[in-house]
Every structure is written in C-alpha cells, then in structure tokens.
Amino acid sequence: MFAGDSWIIIAAAFALDLILGDPPSWPHPVRWMGRAVTVLEPILRRWTRRPFVAGQMLVGILVPGTWALGLGLIVAAHRLSPALALAVQVVILWTCLSTRALYTAAMAVQRALVRQDLGAAREAVGMIVGRETAYLDAQGVSRAAVETVAENLVDGVVAPLFFAVLGGAPLALAYKMVNTLDSMVGYRSPRYLEFGRAAARLDDIANFLPARLSVPLIAAPAAILFRRGRPAWRTARRDGRRHLSPNAGWPEAAFAGALGVRLGGPNRYHGQTVPKPYIGIGHRPVQVTDIARACDLMLTSALFTAVLAAGLALVLGGLR
C-alpha cells in the first residue's frame, strides 16, 4: 500500500519470522481462516445442493473478504499513525511466512528418527503432510519430510513474498486464504471433489509463477551449499512436470537434484494408495540426514528470496 516502505515491510516481516516463527500460544490469521472455512462450509452446502456452486461461493466470499479485511486494518491504522500502519503491514506479512515453523517441524522429524522413535517421527511428519503416515518406515518418513520442506518453501515463503511485492500485505494475506482453502477442501475425495474444485484450481493458478520462480531460488543456494546448482536446475527442467500437482513438482525436483535424492512415488490418502511418478530418477533414496540438508537448503533459499523481494520492492517503490 505504501510503496516506498515495501522493502522495509518485507525485510522486517522475514526477520520476525526467522526470530519468532509461529508461537503456538499466539493468535494466528491462518487459524481464523480455517475456522471461517469450517463455519461457512455447512451453511453454503445447505444454501445450494450443487457442491461445485457452494465451493465457488466459499472462495468468492473468503478470498476477497480476506484481502478487504487486511486492507481495512491498514487503512484504519494509518488514520491513527503512519508508523502504526507500517507495523500492521509487517505483522500481517509475518503471519503469511512460515520459514522457522517449517524448519522446526522438519527437524523434529529428524530428531525422532535419530533416536529411532519411529512412532514419534510418524506423528511429527503427520503434522506437516497430508498423506497417511501410520504405515511409513524411516525412509518413507524421511522422504515425506524432505518433500514437504521443498513444497512448503513455495507456499510459506516464495509465494507470499511474490504477492507482497505485487500488492502488499493484503494480497499476501489473500494468498494465504487461497492456500488455506486448498489445504482444507482441495481434495479429490468424494466429499470434496466438487466442493473443493474451485479452491484447488485457484491455488494452482496462484502458485503457477511462484513454483517456477522457486527453481533458480533453489539452484543458486544449492550451488553454494552443495555445489549442485546445475543438477538442481537440470532435474527441475526434466522432472518438474512429473507430479500430479501442476506446481509441486518444480520445487521438489529442484530439491531432488540439489540433494541427489529420489522423491515422489506412491502415497496413501484417505485410505487409498495414490500412484505418483518418481522425481529425481537415478538418484539414491532419501536418508534421515537428508532432512537437515533439505532444511539448510530451504533456509538459504528463503533468505535469497527475501533479499530479492526486498530489493525488487525497493526498485519498484523508487519508480512509483
């Protein structure tokens, strides 16, 4: 909203995310978004017997509503003080990022595997993935952790900062609503196949560019950390489309090339085995220690993304 301060907002929000993460005892907009979805779903299903129409209404209410709410908070704060408006934008964008939370969650999985507590590892990874985890062995848990670190680099860092550069904190908040809707109703299950279709499609559209932009943002740190920048780039180009999702394959393939591991393959969702193609064909299976390497790559890529986003916001702010 305030073009000249956009780079400050991005830098401060990213710093807060690294320092504080997502304190579980603090209120968080994503939890409110989830509550809004839970409350509205049965109301809209009763309003119309056509699940696809009800799902469209859900998206049409919550996404623009979230953007308007974010903008309204900033405008109200600005009437009191420009400094307060700046702080509100920082806090809003901070809540859209999940760098530290992702790192903490993934490393909890590795610590459980290192102490050979497979039950705790399954429970920990089950908190950050959508697949069933009860049947996974240590290698399956490790693969799930690495895949979610790769995919959530886009959802939790690249995409929110991308939309923050385009439209400030309100647009980043609206993206988070899109992402929340997809994670809650964007399933191909009998209950959500039609109802969640609009949410899933909008999430695909929103992540189309961020997912592909993530490839160089992963390859550059991979060159520094592991001297595997070219393999990350090549694997992404070769295997980025080898995924049921139009977007998730790009960061996963870049991570597979950067770490020299094979990702993908069949997973269980809602009691059914879903066949998925392998990514990083020819590489070795994922090991427990690859979780920490993936986290290091994610942190460095997130830093690259934040610096680039702040720099771009500074340039665009000067042009305005």
How does strand 261-264 pair with strand 284-285? parallel
- Contact between 174 and 160 under an 8 Å Cβ cutoff? The reply is no
Q: Is the pLDDT of residue 134 over 60?
A: yes
Average pLDDT, integer, range 179-187: 93
Q: Is the pLDDT of residue 143 over 60?
A: yes
To 10 degrees, the CA torsion angle through 298, 299, 300, 301?
50
When pLDDT is cut at 50, 70 and 90, the band that residue 3 belongs to is: low
Q: Report the Cα 221 to chain-centroid distance in Å.
A: 19
Q: At CA 298, angle to CA 314 and CA 170, rounded to 5? A: 45
Average pLDDT, integer, range 113-141: 93
When pLDDT is cut at 50, 70 and 90, the band that residue 316 belongs to is: confident
Q: Is the pLDDT of residue 302 over 80?
A: yes
Read off φ and ψ for residue 286, nearest 5 degrees. Answer: -70, 140
Q: Report the Cα 256 to chain-centroid distance in Å.
A: 18
| CA pair distance 88, 69, nearest whole angstrom | 12
When pLDDT is cut at 50, 70 and 90, the band that residue 4 belongs to is: low
Q: Is the pLDDT of residue 43 over 60?
A: yes
pLDDT the model gives residue 56: 97
Burial of 110 per CB tally in 10 Å (0-12, 13-18, 19+): buried
pLDDT the model gives residue 24: 82
pLDDT digits (tens, 9 = 90+) for 235-282: 999 999 988 889 999 999 999 999 999 999 877 776 677 778 899 989
Average pLDDT, integer, range 169-183: 97
Q: At CA 87, angle to CA 86 and CA 88, rounded to 5? A: 90
Question: What rounded mean pLDDT belongs to the chain?
Answer: 94
Token match 């670190």: residue? 149
Q: Is the pLDDT of residue 181 over 90?
A: yes
pLDDT digits (tens, 9 = 90+) for 278-297: 999 899 999 999 999 999 99
Sign of CA dihedral 94, 103, 201, 188: negative
Task: Name the more confident of 28 and 240.
Answer: 240
Q: Is the pLDDT of residue 320 over 70?
A: no
Average pLDDT, integer, range 24-37: 90
pLDDT the model gives residue 269: 72
Of the given ranges (37-41, 221-225, 270-274), which has the lowest mean pLDDT? 270-274
As a three-state string, the secondary structure of the chain is CCHHHHHHHHHHHHHHHHHHCCCCCCCCHHHHHHHHHHHHHHHHHHHCCCHHHHHHHHHHHHHHHHHHHHHHHHHHHHHHCHHHHHHHHHHHHHHHCCHHHHHHHHHHHHHHHHCCCHHHHHHHHHCCCCCCCCCCCHHHHHHHHHHHHHHHHHHHHHHHHHHHHHHHHHHHHHHHHHHHHHHHHCCCCCCCCCCCHHHHHHHHHHHHHHHHHHHHHHHHHHHHHCCCHHHHHHHHHHHCCCCCCCCCHHHHHHHHHHHCEEEECCEEECCEEECCCEECCCCEECCCCHHHHHHHHHHHHHHHHHHHHHHHHHHHHHHC
Q: Is the pLDDT of residue 2 over 60?
A: no
Average pLDDT, integer, range 91-103: 97
Q: Is the pLDDT of residue 145 over 90?
A: yes
| CA pair distance 250, 88, nearest whole angstrom | 33
Q: Report the Cα 206 to chain-centroid distance in Å.
A: 11
Residue type, 311: G
Length of the chain: 320
